[in-house]
Chains A and B, each alone.
Chain A
Amino acid sequence: MKSDNQNGPSVSIALIVSIAVAGFIFEGLMQKVAAQNQSKVSGVVTDRQNKEPLPGVNIRLKGTEKGTTTNENGAYQLTVESLQDTLVFSFVGYETTTIPINGQLNIDVRLEPQTISGEDIVVIGYGTQRKSDLTGSVSSIKPEQITDIPTQSLQDALQGKMAGVQVTSQSGRPGSQPVVRIRGVGTLNNASPLYVVDGMLLDDISFLDTRDVASVEVLKDASATAIYGSRGANGVVVITTKKGSANQSQVTIRSYYGTQRVHNKIDMANAQEFVTLANEAAENRGATPVFDNPDQYGEGFDWQNWLLRDSPIQSHQVAASGGTEKMTYNVSANFLQQNGVVRKSDFQRTTLRVNNEYFVSDHVNFGHNINFAYEDYQLESQGGDGVTGLIMFTLQADPTLQPRNEDGEFTDVSVNGGRINPAAAVAYNHNDNYEFRTTGNVYVNIDFLENFNFRSSFGLNWSRNKTRVFQPEYFVTPIQNTQQSSLTVTNGGATNWLNENTLNFQTDIGDHSVDLLGGITFQEFISENLGGTRLNVPGSPANPLKDLLYLNSGETEGQTNFNGSTTWGMLSQLFRANYSYRDRYLLTATFRRDGSSRFARRNRWGNFPSVALGWVISNESFMENISGINYLKLRTSWGKIGNDKIDTDAATPTVTSNLNYVLGPNQDIHSGATITELANPNVKWEETEQFDVGLEIGLLDDRFNAEVDWYRRKTDDILVRVPIPNLVGVTTEPVVNAASVLNSGFEFSLNWQDSGTDFNYEIGLNATSVDNEVRSLGGGREEILGGGVRNLGSTTRTVVGQEIGAFYGWKQEGIFQNQDEIDNSPIRGNEEPGDIKIADINGDGEITDGDQTFLGSPIPDFYFGINLFAAYRNFDFSMDLDSQIGNQILYASTAERGFGLFNFERFYLDRWTGEGTSDSEPRVTESGHNFEVLDRFLYDGDFVRLRNLQFGYTISTDLLSRLSISRFRVYVGATNPLTFTRYPGYTPQIGGGSVIANGIDNGTYPVASSYTIGVELDF
C-alpha cells in the first residue's frame, strides 16, 4: 500500500508535503512496533470542507508517545492496548481533534481547517494577495460551493453565494448565460462584468465547466478593479482553474444525472373556460360569439403540458492531476448534456482542459492553461423568448384545438382566430448551432535578482461557430406559412489575442513591505462571419435530409450572401504599488492607462487611477489584551474605472444600406443607401467613480467572520442617445457621453462555523442593498422610454431621480360598475361599465398622460443568500437559499393580446360580469382601455427560493482502500425545488433585455427545478 507519489490527494502547500513525506517514514517505523499488539483501530481522515483525504495526519494515543500517521489515502491503522483510550488527531493547518475510542474499531475523522483570518490567499488582478493584505473589496468562493450545482454555466452556480453579486437566469434555455450585476446597474448600456479566466480577459465564459474551477473571486471596488481600467467599471470576475501539484497524483471522477421539471406551470383557462371568455369578449366588442355551443368543450387540449417535458441533465468528469518537481499537470475531460424542458432546445458541451506547468530551473517556469470546448445546441423557435417565441405561442394557443386534425395535418388554428400552431412551429423549425472554441494561454515566469519576477503570457480565445437554419415549405395558417423552403448557413469566427507582460518587485525591509507591479498589455479582437441563404432547398418539411442542408442544394435564383468583419485593438499600461508597515497599515495605489481603437483619435486614451488604505487593527499592540477579537480590519478605497462596452459605431458614421425601392415595369428592387445617423467623433468610454469603506472582523477563534462594506458608485459620461428634433431627418439619434447614474448600498457577509467531535457545520449569510438613481440624462434629454410591449407601448421611463428603467403608467382605481359612475368620473375615452377606472392622480378631473406615475422598478432593493453546510460523521448536508426583494415584474405575456384570439390566464374568470361582480378584474376585452400600461400588469418580484439542497454520504470501507479508492461520496440533490413568490409567471427571475427594458416577462423560457444523484470518486 505504500508508495511515494501515487494516489495521493492534492495538498498545495509544499511545507505540508514535506511533513507528509516525513510522516510516511515515521509510519513505517511505527508499524513494526504495532505488530506485537492486540486491538486495531482504523479509519480515514478527511478535510471537513473539501472532503479530501488527508495524508500525514498525526494520530497519538492520549497520554502516550505512541501513535501513527495517515497514509497517502488518509487512512490510518493504530494498534491500541485498550478500546477505552482516547485518540488525538493533529495536523498542520487543522484544528486538533480529540476522540474517545469508546469500543469502536473504525473511527473516521474530519478535521476542521484552521482558519486564521486573512491567511487565505486571494487571487486579484495580475497577482495574488493574502486576504489580510487586501485593501479592496473582493468576494471569494471555494470550488466545492459551486461544483455540485447542476448547471452549464458557472455564473448560475454563483446565485445567492456572494454579497454584491446578483445573478439572474434570464432564461431557462440550456446554454443561455445569466445576467450578472455587481453592485447594481451602473450604466444605461451593457452592465455585464469583465471575466478573467487564468489571466485571459473575456466577455463570455460559456466554454467553462464549473468543475475545472479552483476559485472564483469577484472584484467589486475600485481598488480591486482599477487595474482593469476601461473594462473594470461593471466589476470583474476572476476565475482560476485547477492545477496539479507535485507528488500528489490523483484521478477523480465526478458524475451526476438528474431530471428537470417545471413545477409552476401558468394557470391557463381550459377549453370550456376559454370558450366562455372568448364569447364574452366578442359580445363586449359588439361582435357575434365565436363559438356556437359553448357547453361542448370540456377540458380541451393543454398546450403547456404538450410543450413542457421532464428532461434529463447529466454531467461527467474524469480528471487526472499530479506532477513531479519538474512539472505538474491537470488534465480533465468534461461532458455535459442538458435537454431543454421545452421541446427541441437541447444543449451539449464537451470540454477538454490541459493545465500544465513546467519548472525549467529554480527561477524559470512556464506553463499553459488551455481549454477546448465543443458545444452544439438547438433553438426551439426562430423567435427566442418574447412575442415571437414558442412559449408565447403556446400560452396563446386555442385549447379547443388539437395539434393535428383527423387527417394528421397540423390544425389550422386560424379557424377561431388563432395565429400560430405551436406544434407546427416546433416541427418546422430546424435551428442547429455548433461552436468550437479554444481558450487559454501560455506563460513564462522568470525570477531574477532575488526580488524580481517577470511574467509574460500570450492568451487566445479562438472560436468558430456555425448556425444552420432550415425552413421548409409549408402552410398552416395565413400567418404561419412559407412560400418556399429556405436555408441559411452562417459561419462565424472570432479571435481575441492578448499579450501581457508584467514585472514584479517585492521586498521586505524591516517593518516595511513593498510589492510593485508594472506591465504592458496588447489585445486585439478580430471577428468575421460569412453566410448565405438559398431558396427551394429539397427535403420534406418535418424531416429534412441532413445531406441536403448545404447552400449548394438550393436554387441560385434569389440567393443572398453576406460577409462582414470587424477588428479592434487595445494597448494598455498598468502599474500597482502595495505597501504595508508592520502588517498594520496598508496602502495600495493602482493606475492603468488604456488605449482603444474603438474611439476616435483624440479620445483614444484613458487613465484609470485608484488608491486604497487599510488598517489591520487587530495587529496593533493595544488589541493584544482584547480577547474574542482575532481579526479586525478597516479599509477604504477610491478610484475611477471605465466601461467600454458601448456602441463602437458611435464615433464613425456608417452607411445604412438596403433602403431599397421598387422601380420599373418588372418591379425590380433598386438598392438604396444613405447615412441615417449623426456620428459623434467625441464619443469616449464611460467613467465610474467608486468609493468604498469596509470592515472585516473575526471573532471567537475565527468561528465567526464578518465583512461589511458600504459602496457608492457614480458613473458619469454614460453614453446616451440625445434627442434632436426629428425634423433634422436622421432616423437614429446621435450618442453623446451625457448621463449619470448613482448606485449605493451596503453589503454584508457573515459566516459562522463550528465543529464538535464528529459534527461540524457552517452558516453563511450574504446580503446586498442597492439604491439606484439616475442623476442626469444630459443633453437636454428628459426621459428615456423603453420596454416596449405590444398593446401597451413603452412601459419604462428613465428620468432623473428615479431608478433606471422604472415602470411608468396609470394606476387602477377600480372597475366602473355602471354608466352612472362613468358619467360622473374622469375617463380616458369611451369606457363602458366593466372597464377599468384609472386614478386621476393629478386631480384635474380628466384622465390624461399627466395621470401616469412611477409604478415600481425592476431593480431589487435588496437581495440575499443563506448557505448552510453540516456534516455528521459520514453524512453531509448543504442548503442554499436565494432571495430578492423590492423589484417589480411586468407580466407582459398576459397584456399582449388583441392580435388574434388568444387563450386566457385563468384569472380572467374573476372578471366583471355585471354590477358588483368585481372591483378589480375588468370585463373581458382584448384591447382598448383595459390594455394600457396599468399597475395591474405589475407584480411584486419578491421571492425566496430554495436554491439548492443536497445530502451526501461518504462511504469508507476497507474494500475501497484495497481498490485504491481514497474517497467515494454519493449524494442526492435538488436545485430550485421550492420558490416562494406572489408572481404568477414561470419564474420571478426576469433578466434579459437592455437595462431600460428589464423585468419584463414576455414569454420567458421557464427555469426548471432539477433533481440529481451524483457520485464523486478519488483514486
Chain B
Amino acid sequence: MKTIKIETPAIIIAMILLSLSACKDPLQEETFSTLGPTNFYNSAEDAEALLNSAYTQSQGWRDLARDYLTFGEFTTDIAIERQGAINANTQPIEDFNFQTSHPWLDFWWERYYSAIYRANTVLDKVPDIDMNPDRKEQILAEARFLRAFNYFYLYDLWGATPLITSSETSIEDRPTRASDEEFVAFVENELREVSEILPANQDQYGRATSGAALAFLTKFYLNNKKWQEAASVAQEIINSNEYSIYDPESGSRNDLFAPDNQYNDEFIYVIHYADGGAVQNGDGNTYLSHAAPPGYAWTYTPMINFAAQFKIRSEFLELFNDPNDERLDAFVFEYENLSGDIVQLGEDDVRSFKYPEDPNGTSSVTSSDMPLLRYADILLSRAEALNELNGPSQESIDLINVIREAAGVDPIELGDFTGTQELRDFILDERGREFHTEFLRRQDLIRHGKFIEMAQDRGKPAQDYHVLFPIPQAEIDRNPELEQNPGYN
C-alpha cells in the first residue's frame, strides 16, 4: 500500500493547520466600541459625563409636564385631562380610584431612584479621579444637590422612602423605608450643606446653584410646616439679591414663560429644554401638544395636536376676580381652528397656554423651559410662613403685593385681613393664580389641609390617606421589605 507515503504529509498538514489556529487565543473577548469600567472613571471628562447623566435622569423627560400635571393638578381644582390614550392613566388619578399598579407611579419611582443611583455613582467614583480639585468639589456638590432634589420629589409623592446613598449594590439588596425623621433630616442637611459649596451663579445655566439648594430647602421646610425655618431660608435667598420678579414695562407678566425669557432672573431652577427640537434631553417639552384644542390653527409651523386634552376647570377660573390680571393671558378662551372658524371653549374646556407657542417648536415639542422653582414662590412662601408664625403682617402683605403688582392687579392691604386664616386663604388663592400649570397645587392644598376636602366636594371618593400615593405594587413585589403607605393595602 501507498499509505506509508501519505501518512507523513497528512500529519504535517494537520500540524500546520492546528498551529495556525492556535497562534492567537481565540477566547480573549475584545470589545472595541463600548466603554467598560476599565476605561471609564478616569478623566475629568468622565466625571462631567457621569454628572450630566444624573441631570438628564433627574429632569430630561419630554412628558414631565404631563406626568407632573397629572399628579400635581388633575388631583386638584385646577385642571383635568380628557380623551387620548393617556386618559386611561390620567382619569383614575383625577377620580381617586387609581390602582397601586398605576404605570406612571412605577415610572417615577424608578426614575427618581435611577437619578439617585447616578448621583451616587458620581459621589463614589469622582473622588478617585485625578482632576482640578475645585471643579471636583463642585461636581460632588451638584451630585448631592441632585440626589436631595430627587428625594424631595419622592417625599412629596410617597413620604419617607428608603435612603440610598451609595451606588454599590447587589442583586439581593432589599432596603427598607427610612424613618420620617431620618429622611427629613437627610434632605435638610444635604440641601443646607451643598448650598454652602455651590456657587450663587453657574457659568452654565441649568446647573444647580446655592440659590436652588436654598429654594428647595425653603419649600421642603414650608411643606413640612417648619415655618420659622422656611421664613428664614427664604430671607437668605432674598438677601442674596440674585433674583427678581419679572415685571415688564409693556406686555404681560405671562411673557415670563415665553421662550425669549428663558434666562430671566425670576427662575431659580428649571428644566432646561433646548431650542429647535434638539434631539437630546428628552426632545423638548410636549406640554402644548396636549393643551391645544382640537383643530387649533398654530401660529408658527404646525405642531402635532394630540388627541389628549389638558383643560382648565371653570370653577378654578373664578379665582381670577380681577379682569386686569395679566395672568389671565395664560388662558385660551376661544381660538381659530384650521377651517378659519372661531371656536368658543365652554365649561371646563378652557386651555392653559402658560408656555406660549414657540417659533422653534417642531413636531410635538417646544423649547419652553419648565420652572420648578421661581422667586415668586420664595416670596409667597415667606409671606405664608410669617403669617403662620405671627398672623398677618405688613411684611407678608408687601411680599404678596410684589407679585400682584407685577401681575397688574390692585395691591392688598393689611387691613383687609382680620386674622391668620383670612390671609392664609388669600395666599392659597394667590398661589393658585400665580402657579397654575406649574404642578404645585397638590402640595399647596395638602399643606393647607384642603386637598381631600376639595376633592370630596368635586364628588371624588378621596380619603385622608390619599395625600400620599401608594408605593408601586410591583416594587413591593420585588422588595417585600417595603411597607405600603396606609390605606392602600
**Is A672 a contact of B83 with CB atoms below 8 Å?**
no
Report whether over half of chain B's contact residues are helix, strand or loop; otherwise say mixed: loop
Chain A proximity of B180: nearest CB distance (Å): 17
**Is A727 a contact of B27 with CB atoms below 8 Å?**
no
* A669 to B277 Cα, complex, angstroms: 12
Find B101's partner among A414, A675, A791, A849 (CB 8 Å cutoff). A849
**Is A726 a contact of B272 with CB atoms below 8 Å?**
no
**Is B31 a contact of A501 with CB atoms below 8 Å?**
no
Binds A, one of B2-10, B181-189, B239-247, B408-416: B2-10
A446-461 CB mask vs B (1 if < 8 Å, else 0) is 1111100010101000
**Is B3 a contact of A653 with CB atoms below 8 Å?**
no
**Is B109 a contact of A829 with CB atoms below 8 Å?**
no
With an 8 A cutoff between CB atoms, is B224 at the interface? no
Most chain A Cβ neighbours within 10 Å, of B3, B18, B53, B274: B53
With an 8 A cutoff between CB atoms, is A670 at the interface? yes
Given contacts A501-B14, A898-B84, contact A657 B272 (CB under 8 A): no
* A999 to B124 Cα, complex, angstroms: 45
**Is B85 a contact of A454 with CB atoms below 8 Å?**
no
**What chain B residues lie within 8 Å of A478 (beta carbons)?**
298, 301-305, 363-364
With an 8 A cutoff between CB atoms, is A842 at the interface? no
* A675 to B53 Cα, complex, angstroms: 10
Docked complex: B88-123 residues within 8 A CB-CB of A: 88, 91-92, 95, 97, 99, 101, 103, 106, 109-110, 113-118, 120-121
**Is B18 a contact of A501 with CB atoms below 8 Å?**
yes
Find A727's partner among B13, B164, B367 (CB 8 Å cutoff). B164
Find A670's partner among B14, B52, B275 (CB 8 Å cutoff). B52
Find B55's partner among A567, A570, A672 (CB 8 Å cutoff). A672
**What chain A residues lie within 8 Å of B31 (beta carbons)?**
566, 652, 654
- Look across to chain A and name the residue whose beta carbon is closest to the beta carbon of B338: A415
Docked complex: B36-66 residues within 8 A CB-CB of A: 36-37, 40, 46, 48-57, 60
**Is A722 a contact of B171 with CB atoms below 8 Å?**
yes
Summed over the interface, the residue pairs from A and B with CB atoms below 8 Å come to a total of 286
Docked complex: B286-300 residues within 8 A CB-CB of A: 294, 298
Binds A, one of B199-207, B211-219, B398-406, B455-463: B199-207
Most chain A Cβ neighbours within 10 Å, of B21, B31, B206, B475: B21
With an 8 A cutoff between CB atoms, is A731 at the interface? yes
Q: How large is the interface on B (under 10, 10 to 19, 20 to 34, 35 or more residues)?
A: 35 or more
Q: How large is the interface on A (under 10, 10 to 19, 20 to 34, 35 or more residues)?
A: 35 or more
Chain B proximity of A412: nearest CB distance (Å): 9
**What chain A residues lie within 8 Å of B20 (beta carbons)?**
499
Docked complex: A588-606 residues within 8 A CB-CB of B: 595-598, 604
**What chain A residues lie within 8 Å of B118 (beta carbons)?**
674, 729
With an 8 A cutoff between CB atoms, is A539 at the interface? no
* A569 to B205 Cα, complex, angstroms: 49
Most chain B Cβ neighbours within 10 Å, of A598, A663, A723, A829: A663
* A477 to B87 Cα, complex, angstroms: 24
With an 8 A cutoff between CB atoms, is B132 at the interface? no
With an 8 A cutoff between CB atoms, is B321 at the interface? no
Chain A proximity of B13: nearest CB distance (Å): 7
Binds B, one of A519-527, A756-764, A804-812: A519-527
- Look across to chain A and name the residue whose beta carbon is closest to the beta carbon of B45: A671
Given contacts A570-B26, A671-B52, contact A654 B87 (CB under 8 A): no
Given contacts A454-B10, A674-B121, A728-B117, contact A665 B205 (CB under 8 A): yes
* A781 to B169 Cα, complex, angstroms: 19
- Look across to chain B and name the residue whose beta carbon is closest to the beta carbon of A667: B274
* A659 to B56 Cα, complex, angstroms: 6
**What chain A residues lie within 8 Å of B281 (beta carbons)?**
660-662, 669
**Is A736 a contact of B171 with CB atoms below 8 Å?**
yes
**Is A450 a contact of B1 with CB atoms below 8 Å?**
yes
**Is B272 a contact of A727 with CB atoms below 8 Å?**
no
**Is B14 a contact of A830 with CB atoms below 8 Å?**
no
**What chain A residues lie within 8 Å of B363 (beta carbons)?**
478-479, 481
With an 8 A cutoff between CB atoms, is B263 at the interface? yes
* A854 to B173 Cα, complex, angstroms: 32
With an 8 A cutoff between CB atoms, is A19 at the interface? no
Chain B proximity of A10: nearest CB distance (Å): 29
With an 8 A cutoff between CB atoms, is A793 at the interface? yes
**Is A596 a contact of B27 with CB atoms below 8 Å?**
yes
With an 8 A cutoff between CB atoms, is A506 at the interface? no
Find A726's partner among B6, B34, B475 (CB 8 Å cutoff). B475
B260-280 CB mask vs A (1 if < 8 Å, else 0) is 000100000000111111101
With an 8 A cutoff between CB atoms, is A782 at the interface? yes
**What chain B residues lie within 8 Å of A481 (beta carbons)?**
363
**Is B26 a contact of A522 with CB atoms below 8 Å?**
yes
Given contacts A363-B3, A570-B26, contact A725 B174 (CB under 8 A): yes
* A663 to B56 Cα, complex, angstroms: 10
- Look across to chain B and name the residue whose beta carbon is closest to the beta carbon of A596: B27
With an 8 A cutoff between CB atoms, is A557 at the interface? no
- Look across to chain A and name the residue whose beta carbon is closest to the beta carbon of B175: A727
**Is B99 a contact of A849 with CB atoms below 8 Å?**
yes
* A407 to B197 Cα, complex, angstroms: 64
**Is A927 a contact of B87 with CB atoms below 8 Å?**
yes
With an 8 A cutoff between CB atoms, is A676 at the interface? yes
**Is A830 a contact of B91 with CB atoms below 8 Å?**
yes
Find A657's partner among B14, B35, B95, B114 (CB 8 Å cutoff). B35
With an 8 A cutoff between CB atoms, is B28 at the interface? yes
Given contacts A664-B205, A898-B84, A928-B88, contact A729 B120 (CB under 8 A): yes
**What chain B residues lie within 8 Å of A899 (beta carbons)?**
85, 307
**Is A654 a contact of B35 with CB atoms below 8 Å?**
yes
**What chain A residues lie within 8 Å of B1 (beta carbons)?**
450
**Is A671 a contact of B49 with CB atoms below 8 Å?**
yes
Docked complex: A635-693 residues within 8 A CB-CB of B: 649, 652-665, 667, 669-676, 678, 680
**Is B57 a contact of A727 with CB atoms below 8 Å?**
no
**What chain A residues lie within 8 Å of B305 (beta carbons)?**
414, 478
**Is B171 a contact of A724 with CB atoms below 8 Å?**
yes
Chain B proximity of A805: nearest CB distance (Å): 19
**What chain B residues lie within 8 Å of A779 (beta carbons)?**
171
**What chain B residues lie within 8 Å of A931 (beta carbons)?**
85, 88
* A779 to B171 Cα, complex, angstroms: 9
Given contacts A670-B52, A726-B110, contact A652 B36 (CB under 8 A): yes
Find B109's partner among A364, A726, A736 (CB 8 Å cutoff). A726
* A468 to B97 Cα, complex, angstroms: 51
Most chain B Cβ neighbours within 10 Å, of A456, A478, A524, A658: A478
**What chain B residues lie within 8 Å of A595 (beta carbons)?**
27
**What chain A residues lie within 8 Å of B362 (beta carbons)?**
483
* A790 to B30 Cα, complex, angstroms: 39
Docked complex: A420-476 residues within 8 A CB-CB of B: 444, 446-450, 454, 456, 458, 475
**What chain A residues lie within 8 Å of B3 (beta carbons)?**
363, 447-450
- Look across to chain A and name the residue whose beta carbon is closest to the beta carbon of B46: A673
- Using A669-B278, A678-B169, A729-B118 as known contacts, list a sample of 18 further A-B pairs with CB atoms less than 8 Å apart, ordered by residue number in A: A361-B2, A448-B10, A478-B302, A478-B305, A528-B32, A567-B29, A597-B26, A597-B27, A655-B37, A664-B203, A725-B174, A726-B106, A726-B113, A726-B114, A728-B164, A728-B173, A734-B171, A927-B88
Nearest first, the 10 A-B pairs at minimum CB distance are A729-B117, A672-B52, A569-B26, A564-B33, A672-B53, A655-B35, A659-B53, A725-B479, A726-B110, A522-B21
A/B interface sample: 29 pairs, CB < 8 A: A364-B6, A446-B10, A447-B3, A454-B13, A454-B14, A478-B298, A478-B301, A499-B21, A564-B34, A569-B26, A571-B27, A652-B31, A654-B34, A657-B35, A660-B60, A660-B281, A661-B280, A663-B206, A663-B207, A672-B55, A673-B35, A674-B49, A674-B118, A724-B171, A725-B174, A727-B113, A729-B167, A730-B114, A928-B87
A residues in contact (CB < 8 Å) with B? 285, 287, 361-364, 414-415, 417, 444, 446-450, 454, 456, 458, 475, 477-479, 481, 483, 499, 501, 520, 522-524, 528, 563-571, 595-598, 604, 649, 652-665, 667, 669-676, 678, 680, 722-731, 734, 736, 779-780, 782, 790-791, 793, 829-830, 848-849, 898-900, 926-928, 931
